[in-house]
Structure 1
Amino acid sequence: MKKYTILISAVAAIGGLLFGFDTAVIAGTIPALRTYFSLDDNAIGLVVAAASIGCIPGALFAGNLANRYGRKLMMLVTAVLYVVAAIGSGIAGSYEALVLYRFIGGLAIGMASTLAPIYISEVAPAEYRGRLGMSQQLAIVMGILLAFISNYFIDSAGWSFLTPENTWRYMLAAAVIPSVIFFILLMFVPESPRWLIQRERHDHAHLIFGKIYEEVKAKEELETVQMDIAADKQGLRFMEIFSPKYRKVVWIGVIFAAIAQLTGINIIFYYAPLIFEKTHVGGSVLFQTVLTGVVNLIFTIIAFWLIDRIGRKKLLLTGSAVMGICMVVVGTLFYTDNLDNYWVLGAIFVYIAAFACTWGAVLWVYVAEIFSNKIRGSATSFAIFGNWTANAIVSWTFPVMLSEMGAPVTFFIYGVINFLMIAFVAKYVFETKGVSLEKVESMYAGL
């Protein structure tokens, strides 16, 4: 695999780094926001979920916009939205303004979570698509860890201009730096060659394929994609993804993306300080939160080695089982009030490790590779829409569930959900390891 392919995939994946940063940075600001704006549990849930709510239209429309205007242009728009959201959140003068700018940030996150997997899947050679597609997830977890480290550093820096009343502003505004870097680097990446072929810009597409493959392979790839697209020259209206030809694979993608959130992973990343405050182990909850980010990063790197060797399906089945057990263990520890040790922290670390190696690794690869060239933009967009809808529900309801139902019941519910996911994966997820994008569609045609 050429370095050029790695570089352009890495730049596209920076959108994922900002995705991780913007969604996780709120965790360190919750206590300050609760005091500063006098917020109850429902209001806290909304300000956390505002980004996820913004992701819903961002993800839903990104695919169609990318089909019309190109993957690169829409990624540039995403970078601009990230900058606006970071600055706006940092200077927000009211709770309503903060929610609004968090929503704008969510638009950017939803777009990035759709566009980066599409772009990477369309430039990646089939034998490396899993690992390159995982660069999105690696960037996300690096963004999460960067947010936790940034929060911890700002909180403990001791600079004179930082006060309990404004520290949260600097935490939220810190995203402006990687956002600007993302915009600049995007100027140097090419458009997706598959999108160029759809626009009948074959010479330009051949030039880009020539930078990704050796010349003979570049010509073969160009001809393969040309034939696939020529087989159905008519344009795609969004509602056509629900036609009998595509309906089953689209709904599999949507449900798959949604249940990835129902694992409960983001109740950990969004509310880790809130959870750790309920244990009795002492120490800085922000530092403990940083450790969850470190575990997430380490096991995401391990997943790079696993995904194209073990395959997608085995990873998903194993991950669901381990995560289900961990959620039950955490619920049991809260039920028995056995919180004066490190068992809760340990169980959460194992849970995060299992997610990072399995569902976190596979999600962004799978939802972009199971759809054919014709529907990839719109179908991936709709699948990510399902992901963010579930994310918004989970992030908004968790503090209320924790308050009204208690920690044991809340974690038991997520444990059961993880066990139920095993049945879905066993029946509806096919192994796509090493299969070309043009061949994956036929695997689902018989459902």
Structure 2
Amino acid sequence: MKKYTILISGVAALGGLLFGFDTAVIAGAISGLKDYFALNNGDIGLVVAAASIGCIPGAFFSGRLADKYGRKKMMLLTAVLYVITSIGSGIAGSFAQLVIYRFVGGVAIGMASTLAPIYISEVAPASFRGRLGMMQQLAIVLGILIAFISNYALANTGFAFITAHNQWRFMLAAALIPSLIFFFLLALVPESPRWLILNDKLVQAKKVFTRIYEDEAAEKEVNIVKADIQKSSTKFRFRDIFSKKYKRVVLIGIVFAAIAQLTGINIIFYYAPLIFEKTHVGGSVLFQTVLTGIVNLIFTLIAFALIDRVGRKKLLLWGSTIMGFCMFIIGFLFYENRLGNYFVLITVFVYIAAFASTWGAVLWVYVAEIFPNRIRGHATSFAIFGNWSANAIVSYTFPIMLAGIGAPATFFSYGIINLAMILFVSKYIFETKGVPLERIEERYQNVS
């Protein structure tokens, strides 16, 4: 694999870094926002969920727009929206303004979560697609960790102009720097060669493939993709993804993407300070949150060595099993009020490690690789729309569940969901390890 392929995949994945930063940065700002705007539990849920709600239209429409205007142009628009939300969230003068800017940021996140996996899957050689696709997840994890470190640093800075009253503004505005970097680095990225072939731009597509493969392999790749696209000469419409030919794989994709949120991973990252406030060990709450980000990063790196060797399906099965038991243990510790020890922290870290090396590693790779070339943009967009819809529900309801039915019942519920996911994976998830994109259709047609 050429270094150029790694470079352009890495730049595309930077949208994921901002995705991770913007979704996680709110964790450190919640306490300051609660005091500044006098928020109740429902308000907290709304300001956290606003980004997730914005992700829904961002994910839903970005695939179709990317199919029409190209992957690169839509990634540039994503970078612009990140800049807007960074500045706007930092200067918001009212709770309503903050929610609006968080929504705009969510649109950008929804777009990035759709576009980067599509782009990377379309430039990656089959034997490296899992690892290159994981660059999106690695970038998300780095973004989350950077957000946690940034929050911790801003909360403990000695600068007189950063106070307990306004530090949340600096936390939310900090994404401006990586947003600008993402925008300017996109100049290095070519358009997706598969999108170019879809739009009859064969000369440009061959130039891009030549920089990814050797000359003969590039010519062969162009012909393979061209032949795959020419299987159907009719004009494609969005409703065609629900045709008899594609319906099964689209349903598998959207359910898979949605239940990835029902693992409960984002209740850990969005609300880590609220959870750790109920425990009584391990130093400051923000420092404990930084540790969760470090664990997430370490086990995401471990997943690099596993995803193209072990395969997607086995990782998902192991992850659901471990995460399910961790949720039950956390619920039991809250039920017994045994929070004055390190076991609850260790269990949270094990849960995060299991997610990072399994579901977190597989999610963004799988949803972009299982769909045929002809429907990839539309279908990936629709699947990730399901992911963010579930995310919005989880992030909004968690503080309400925590206050209403209590921590034990809340975590027990997520434990049951995780174990139930084993059945779905066993029956419907098909292995894609090492399979060229143009041959994956053969795999899903054999799923019972």
TM-score scaled to structure 2, two decimals? 0.99
2-structure distance, mates of 1:232, 1:373: 11
Deviations 1:69-103 (A, max 9, x none): 00000000000000000000000000000000000
**Partner of 1:431: helix, strand, or coil?**
coil
Give distance in 2, aligned partners of 1:203 and 1:35: 58
8 A contact 2:54–2:105 mirrored in 1: yes
Q: Could you list the runs of 5+ residues in structure 1 that have no partner in the other structure?
A: none
Q: What's the counterpart of residue 262 of structure 1?
A: 262
Q: Which letter maps to 2:338?
A: N
Letter in 1 for 2:400: V
Structure 2 contact 145–290 (Cα < 8 Å) conserved: yes
Q: Which residue of 1 aligns with 2:118?
A: 118
The one-letter code of the counterpart of 2:205 is A
Match in the other structure for 1:308: 308
Map 1:210-221 → 2, pairs under 5 A: 210-221=210-221
Select between 102-111 and 277-286 the one with higher mean Cα deviation: 277-286
- Deviation string, structure 1 residues 165-208 (Cα, Å, up to 9, x no partner): 11000000000000000000001110000000011110110010
How do residues 330-341 of structure 1 correspond to structure 2 at under 5 angstroms?
330-341=330-341
- Per the alignment, residue 440 of structure 1 pairs with 440
Aligned to 1:285: 285
Q: Which runs of 5+ in 2 are unaligned?
A: none
RMSD value over aligned CA atoms? 0.6
C-alpha contact 2:367 2:380 (8 A) present in aligned 1: yes
Correspondence list, 1:340-351, <5 A: 340-351=340-351
**Inter-partner Cα distance in structure 2 for 1:234 and 1:135:** 35
How big is each residue's C-alpha offset from its partner over 1:187-239, in whole Å with a ceiling of 9 and x where there is no partner?
Answer: 11100000000111101100100000011111110100010011112232111
CA distance in 2, matches of 1:63, 1:2: 27
Change (3 A) 1:190 1:333: same
- Counterpart of 2:131? 131
Identity of aligned residues (%): 70
Deviations for 1:225-269, whole angstroms, at most 9, x for unmatched residues? 010011112232111111111111101000000000000000000
C-alpha separation in 2, matches of 1:138 and 1:233: 38
Match of 1:228 in 2: 228
- Quote the Cα distance in structure 1 between the aligned partners of 2:233 and 2:54: 33
Which whole-Å CA distance do the structure 2 matches of 1:31 and 1:15 have between them?
A: 27
75-84 or 279-288, larger mean C-alpha shift: 279-288
Q: Which amino acid aligns with 1:423?
A: L
What's the CA shift for 1:49? 0.3
How far apart, CA to CA, are the structure 1 residues paired with 2:173 and 2:85?
8
Partner of 1:76: 76
* SS of corresponding position for 2:66: helix
SS in 1 for 2:141: helix
- In structure 1, the residue matched to 2:172 is 172
Listed one character per residue, the Cα deviations across residues 286-343 of structure 1 (whole Å, up to 9, x for unaligned) are: 0000000000000000000000000000000000000000000000000000000011
- 2:421 aligns with 421
In structure 2, the partner of 1:390 is 390
Q: Which residue of 2 aligns with 1:102?
A: 102
- 1:240 is matched with which residue? 240
Q: How far apart are the structure 2 equivalents of 1:288 and 1:226?
A: 51
2:8 is the alignment partner of 1:4 = no
Equivalents in 1 of 2:281, 2:399: separation in Å? 21
Match of 1:378? 378
Corresponding position: 1:35 with 2:10:
no
How far apart, in 2, do the equivalents of 1:101 and 1:355 lie? 29
* Amino acid in the other structure paired with 2:43: A
Aligned residues: 447
> In the aligned structure 1, how far is the partner of 2:438 from the partner of 2:222?
12
1:359 corresponds to: 359
- Matched residues in 2 for 1:380 and 1:27: separation? 28
Contact 2:282–2:288 (8 Å) recurs in 1: no
| 4+ aligned runs moved over 6 Å, structure 1 | none
276-285 vs 430-439, greater mean Cα deviation: 276-285
The answer to whether the Cα contact below 8 Å between 2:303 and 2:361 also exists between their aligned partners in 1 is yes
Q: In structure 1, what residue type is equivalent to 2:372?
A: S
Cα drift, residue 25 of structure 1:
0.1
Equivalent residue of 2:240, what SS? helix
For 1:138, give the aligned amino acid. Answer: L
Q: What's the secondary structure of 1:187's corresponding residue?
A: helix
Look up the match of 2:188: 188
Q: Distance in 1 between matches of 2:260 and 2:182?
A: 26
CA distance in 2, matches of 1:236, 1:180: 35
- Equivalent position amino acid for 1:269 in 2: F
Q: Distance in 1 between matches of 2:235 and 2:189?
A: 26
- Matched position secondary structure for 1:375: helix
Residue 91 of structure 1 corresponds to 91
Contact 2:58 2:108 in 1 (8 A): yes
Q: What are the equivalent positions in structure 2 for 1:56-71 lying under 5 Å apart? A: 56-71=56-71
| Structure 1 residues 446 and 282: CA distance shift in structure 2, 3 A | closer
Q: CA deviation at 1:282?
A: 5.3
Q: Which amino acid aligns with 2:256?
A: F
TM-score norm. by structure 1 comes to 0.99
| Alignment deviations for residues 359-381 of structure 1 (CA, whole Å, 9 cap, x no partner) | 00000000001000000000000
SS of residue paired to 1:338: coil
Q: Which amino acid aligns with 1:300?
A: T
SS at match of 2:374: coil
Aligned-partner Cα distance in 1 for 2:383–2:68: 19
- CA–CA separation in structure 1 for the residues paired with 2:247 and 2:143: 34
